[in-house]
């Protein structure tokens, strides 16, 4: 199985390249807005849309006209990508079960440094290459890149973006997953609580790091400072830019933390069970603590990492109750957010709220996987292999795994 992954790299464009990159980003935004307006007009008129093919031919037709020289100057494959993205956004807005709204016009900021424009180039006939510390971007040239990690495979697309005052590019590549593990030795459930501490059913604990808290305090301080400044003044802009920069730092710190945690738990466990987080509901429930959503990030990153390793990632249902269930006897308890520990009413076991939640997540996940026929519990002593079926895994080393079950 192959997976398409994204890797981000920092770019160091020359001043001349930077001007061009800004221009390309703006062009990409301009094409989006123009095609969107056209779609809105049509939708008003007869409730129809332009599909990708139609939009691509609109672009082609406009190119020869002088007032559309700006499209001509742009990389044509990148222009087609904009049309593709818009088509996806329109389709998503109208497909059932999706929560996306009608796409919006992309806005611009008067101050250049606050932009987050981007454009995506496609590696047609190997036009995008990385050689001698530079990446060749169509119609831009060779832009110096910081290759902090090697490419995993051939480049598919490159998205060049300006975020939080810095240039970066995100390269998509196809990566081959490892063969699925035949013997899965550990199953662990993970609970991520409102304080963003990750707790595993095996006793693993990873605290929300202090540096994130510090950065956020700094952010609050700057936001108060911004409120005191006169809007639009020089000092206001200065503070605004510092806030923008800090946002970038926080998001990088958060991503780094999430990567490290997910890598560690993927390495240490064979089957990972998470809760399917209805993050939006959690946000309303807990307020700002969940707004910067580390837990969503950790589950997302763990998912692809386990898949790459040939391990199993499983999410239990969104409404499956996990908090307040005794890990020994399964008795339900109603806990408030303040109750960090509780004593079971039925069997009198004193336990941590998060650990017992993680244990119950692991238990539910295990039942799910067995019921779905994805894994079967086997006796670790009798190593006889039954007839090979696809997606039947042998499990061993279970605490109570002495009986042998065969999955359907
Ligand atoms: Zn109990």
Please determine, for residue 41, whether its predicted confidence score (pLDDT) is greater than 90.
Answer: yes
- Residue 408 located in a structural domain: no
Q: How far is the CA of 333 from the centre of ligand 1 (A)?
A: 10
For residue 163, what are the domain limits? 2-176
Domain boundary among 123, 141, 176: 176
Number of Cα atoms under 13 Å in the Cβ half of residue 386: 17
- Tell me what pLDDT residue 232 has: 85
261 and 127 fall within a common domain: no
Query: Could you give the number of structural domains in the chain?
Result: 2
98 and 69 fall within a common domain: yes
pLDDT single digits (tens) 254-276: 889 999 999 999 999 999 999 87
Q: What is the mean pLDDT of the chain?
A: 83
Domain boundary among 126, 159, 176: 176
Q: How far is the CA of 335 from the centre of ligand 1 (A)?
A: 14
211 and 358 fall within a common domain: yes
Residues 6+ apart with CB under 8 A from 180: 310, 393
- Tell me what pLDDT residue 80 has: 93
Q: How far is the CA of 356 from the centre of ligand 1 (A)?
A: 10
- Residue 267 located in a structural domain: yes
Q: How far is the CA of 362 from the centre of ligand 1 (A)?
A: 16
Q: Is residue 324 a contact partner of residue 338, using CB atoms and an 8 Å limit? A: no
- Residue 401 located in a structural domain: no
253 and 145 fall within a common domain: no
209 and 238 fall within a common domain: yes
280 and 341 fall within a common domain: yes
pLDDT single digits (tens) 84-139: 999 999 888 887 766 667 888 888 766 656 677 899 999 988 889 998 899 999 99
Q: How far is the CA of 353 from the centre of ligand 1 (A)?
A: 13
Please determine, for residue 385, whether its predicted confidence score (pLDDT) is greater than 60.
Answer: no
201 and 348 fall within a common domain: yes
> In the structure, what pLDDT confidence band is assigned to residue 144 with cuts at 50, 70 and 90?
very high
166 and 188 fall within a common domain: no
164 and 213 fall within a common domain: no
> In the structure, what pLDDT confidence band is assigned to residue 318 with cuts at 50, 70 and 90?
low
91 and 137 fall within a common domain: yes
- Tell me what pLDDT residue 172 has: 93
Domain boundary among 135, 153, 176: 176
Q: How far is the CA of 105 from the centre of ligand 1 (A)?
A: 55
- Tell me what pLDDT residue 389 has: 30
44 and 82 fall within a common domain: yes
266 and 288 fall within a common domain: yes
């Amino acid at each position: 199985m192959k997976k398409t992954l994204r890797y981000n790299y920092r770019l160091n464009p020359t001043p001349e390249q930077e001007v061009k990159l800004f221009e390309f980003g703006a062009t990409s935004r301009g094409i989006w807005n123009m095609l969107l307006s056209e779609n809105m007009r049509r939708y008003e008129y007869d409730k129809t849309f332009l599909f990708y093919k139609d939009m691509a031919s609109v672009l082609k037709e406009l190119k020869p006209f002088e007032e559309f020289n700006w499209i001509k100057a742009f990389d044509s494959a990148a222009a087609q990508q904009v049309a593709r993205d818009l088509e996806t956004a329109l389709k998503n807005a109208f497909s059932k079960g999706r929560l996306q709204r009608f796409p919006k016009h992309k806005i611009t900021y008067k101050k250049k440094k606050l932009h987050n424009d981007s454009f995506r180039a496609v590696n047609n006939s190997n036009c995008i290459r990385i050689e001698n510390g530079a990446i060749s971007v169509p119609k831009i040239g060779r832009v110096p890149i910081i290759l902090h990690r090697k490419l995993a495979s051939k480049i598919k697309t490159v998205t060049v973006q300006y975020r939080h005052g810095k240039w970066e590019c995100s390269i998509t590549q196809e990566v081959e997953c490892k063969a699925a593990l035949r013997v899965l030795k550990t199953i662990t459930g993970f609970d991520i609580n409102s304080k963003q501490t990750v707790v595993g059913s095996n006793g693993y604990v990873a605290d929300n790091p202090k540096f994130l808290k510090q950065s956020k305090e700094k952010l609050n301080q700057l936001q108060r400072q911004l409120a005191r400044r006169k809007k639009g003044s020089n000092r206001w802009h200065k503070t605004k830019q510092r806030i923008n920069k800090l946002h970038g730092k926080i998001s990088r710190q958060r991503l780094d933390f999430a990567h490290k945690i997910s890598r560690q738990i993927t390495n240490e466990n064979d089957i990972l069970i998470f809760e399917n987080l209805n993050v939006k509901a959690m946000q309303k429930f807990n307020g700002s603590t969940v707004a910067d959503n580390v837990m969503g990030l950790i589950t997302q990153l763990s998912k692809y990492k386990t898949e790459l390793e040939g391990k199993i990632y499983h999410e239990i249902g969104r409404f499956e109750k996990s908090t307040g269930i005794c890990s020994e006897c399964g008795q339900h308890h109603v806990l408030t957010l303040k109750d960090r520990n509780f004593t079971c009413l039925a069997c009198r076991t004193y336990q941590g709220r998060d650990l017992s939640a993680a244990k119950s997540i692991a238990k539910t996940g295990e039942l799910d996987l067995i019921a779905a026929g994805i894994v079967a519990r086997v006796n670790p002593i009798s190593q006889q292999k039954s007839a090979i079926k696809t997606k039947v895994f042998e499990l061993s080393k279970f605490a109570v795994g002495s009986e042998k079950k065969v999955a359907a």
